[in-house]
Amino acid sequence: MVSNTKEVKDLDFDVTRSADEERKLAFKDEVCIGCGICEKVCPVEAIELGDVGAIVRTEADEAKICVDENKCVLCGMCSVGCPVDALEFTIDGESIKNMDVYPQYLSSAEIDDETCIYCKACEAACPREAITIARELPEREKLVTGEIEIDKDTCIYCGVCEEMCPADAITMDSKIPTSADPSVASDINVDTDKCVYCLICKKSCPVDAIMAACRTCSYGEYDLDPADAEIKGSSFIDDDLCVRCGWCEEICPVDAAKVKKPFKGEIIVDQDKCSTCGACVDICPCDVYSFPQPDESGQIVDKVFKDETYCIYCGACENVCPVDAIEVKRTDVDYTPTKSKSWKNKMESLKT
Amino acid sequence: MELKVEQDNCLGCGVCVVACPINVSISPEVAGGHGSKTEEVIMMVENGVIKLFSPNKCTKCGTCQLFCPTDAIWLE
């Protein structure tokens, strides 16, 4: 028995058909970068790319692509062509990403936890907010050594040390003096977990009531264990959001991040045609484009700046540019081999 | 998506006219803040309010909507 079921849900949609095997195409609008490769590879012209520029820039409640379920033959080419896995195609519940007969892009991004020093530069730079770095900092008291004591008989409880202490280690219990107890404070204490033995309190005390010494330089190698200074952590890349742009690899100071991109190519920007509308800056999933600032007034700079180090050659910028000032050339597509000639031709057709 | 205007909201500031990248390519003087010399452009200020002349030329980049201070022009 052959039965067809179709279902279309808000922005994300599913197209399902059941025959001998159940084939299902699911779309994640949040992951979609609006590159339009799916539209180009679809053999039956079932996919239409929306007005991506306006949708992204005005945060319109509209899906970036539209699939005509009556045309879709559920072949899965769009899913294989999608460079960011926004289209997932499954046969009997299993993703074709796991099937060797279908070609796959050769692309990856990983952070080596052995090398990573958890500086979080990649987390800050990632244009897709796909990276999370969790780190556990050392305890401050284990990195310093010294002695401190307040002579409470000499102390006049002026509060100068409490106000000066950069580590907030000194607390004075202030009170209002009464005739029965004419003192301004009931107690003063140093929290040695917080104290870094900087000796500012000692130097600023007007009555020399503080005895303190820092041992870090002279006895640090005996008092302190270097293992206590180690920063522990772990890194996580959200594979759904990652577009393999290479920002993490470029910004990492210790070469812990490695990115393999699926495409090679070139971007050509016609600075004369550009009218600085900023559509490319807003649409680019990799933050390749920015507006350059002149160093001094009167200096003429390029209208729009690009750094191809971060480019994945998806072509989204070329699609949205209203004045055709951008040309994206794909010279190389890296994918796993397939026996099917038509699939191979389709993958090769991505080269321009 | 379609380009729409609401003349009741428009203050006639003309920011959309000079921001529109298509307008600039049709009538370059608008990039310098001047009014367009031709009615071939997508939109112009006429009698103090915005008016669409050639909305079919719009490529839906959303620039006018981003710059309009009064939500008088948008894509829907």
Whether chain B has a CB inside 8 Å of the CB on A277: the answer is yes
Q: Which chain A residues have a beta carbon less than 8 Å from that of B59? A: 53, 320, 322
Q: Which chain B residues have a beta carbon less than 8 Å from that of A56? A: 62
Domain encompassing residue A30: 13-98
Q: Which of A348, A273, A349 is nearest to A318 (CA)?
A: A273
Q: Do A279 and B61 touch (CB under 8 A)?
A: yes
The neighbour count for residue A180, using CB atoms within 10 Å, is: 5
- For residues B37 and B31, what is the distance between their CA atoms, to the nearest angstrom? 12
Residue A9 has pLDDT above 70, yes or no: no
Which site among A277, A281, A303, A317 would you substitute to test the B interface, given the most B Cβ atoms closer than 10 Å to its Cβ? A277
Confidence of residue B31 (pLDDT cuts 50, 70, 90): confident
Q: Which chain A residues have a beta carbon less than 8 Å from that of B75? A: 51, 54, 58, 60
pLDDT in tens, A147-176: 999 999 999 999 999 999 999 999 999 999
> Are A255 and A111 spatial neighbours (Cβ–Cβ below 8 Å)?
no
Vertex A157, ends A152 and A163: CA angle to 5°?
Answer: 120
Whether chain B has a CB inside 8 Å of the CB on A248: the answer is no
Q: Which chain A residues have a beta carbon less than 8 Å from that of B21? A: 275-277, 279, 322-323
Residue A224 has pLDDT above 70, yes or no: yes
The mean pLDDT value for A236-252 works out to 95
Taking the CA atoms of residue A45, residue A46, residue A50 and residue A52 in that order, the dihedral angle to the nearest 10 degrees is -70
Residue A289 has which token pair? 């484009």
Mean pLDDT, chain B, as a whole number?
92
Sign, Cα dihedral of A341, A343, A348, A352: positive
Which CATH number goes with the domain that contains B50? 3.30.70.20
Q: Which chain A residues have a beta carbon less than 8 Å from that of B4? A: none
According to the model, what pLDDT value does residue A12 have?
66
- For residues B52 and A267, what is the distance between their CA atoms, to the nearest angstrom? 34
Q: CA-based Rg of chain B, rounded to a whole angstrom? A: 11
Q: Would A342 be classed as within a structural domain?
A: no
Residue A24 has which token pair? 């299902």
Confidence of residue A1 (pLDDT cuts 50, 70, 90): very low
SS3 A38: helix
Confidence of residue A21 (pLDDT cuts 50, 70, 90): confident
SS3 A340: coil
According to the model, what pLDDT value does residue B30 have?
87
According to the model, what pLDDT value does residue A352 have?
84
Which site among A48, A49, A56, A58 would you substitute to test the B interface, given the most B Cβ atoms closer than 10 Å to its Cβ? A58
> Are B57 and B43 spatial neighbours (Cβ–Cβ below 8 Å)?
no
Q: Which of A162, A160, A218, A225 is nearest to A189 (CA)?
A: A162
Of A205, A229, A253, which marks where a domain is finished? A229
Q: Do A60 and B75 touch (CB under 8 A)?
A: yes
Confidence of residue B37 (pLDDT cuts 50, 70, 90): confident
> Are A50 and A38 spatial neighbours (Cβ–Cβ below 8 Å)?
no
Nearest to B65 among A58, A276, A278 (CB): A58
The mean pLDDT value for A95-112 works out to 93
The mean pLDDT value for A303-320 works out to 96
Q: Would A344 be classed as within a structural domain?
A: no
Domain encompassing residue B27: 3-75
Q: Which chain B residues have a beta carbon less than 8 Å from that of A273? A: 25
According to the model, what pLDDT value does residue A134 have?
95
Confidence of residue A6 (pLDDT cuts 50, 70, 90): very low
Residue A4 has pLDDT above 50, yes or no: no
Place of tokens 């010399």: B37
Q: Would A103 be classed as within a structural domain?
A: no
Q: Do B61 and A273 touch (CB under 8 A)?
A: no
Mean pLDDT, chain A, as a whole number?
92
Give the H or E element holding residue B11.
none
The mean pLDDT value for B31-60 works out to 91
Which CATH number goes with the domain that contains A45? 3.30.70.20
pLDDT in tens, A268-310: 999 999 989 999 999 999 999 999 999 999 999 999 999 999 9
Residues 309-328 of A with CB under 8 A from B: 320-323
Q: Would A248 be classed as within a structural domain?
A: no
Residue A120 has pLDDT above 90, yes or no: yes
Our count of domains for chain A comes to: 3
Our count of domains for chain B comes to: 1
Q: Would A352 be classed as within a structural domain?
A: no
Residue A104 has pLDDT above 70, yes or no: yes
According to the model, what pLDDT value does residue A5 have?
47
> Are A231 and A137 spatial neighbours (Cβ–Cβ below 8 Å)?
yes
Q: Would A202 be classed as within a structural domain?
A: yes
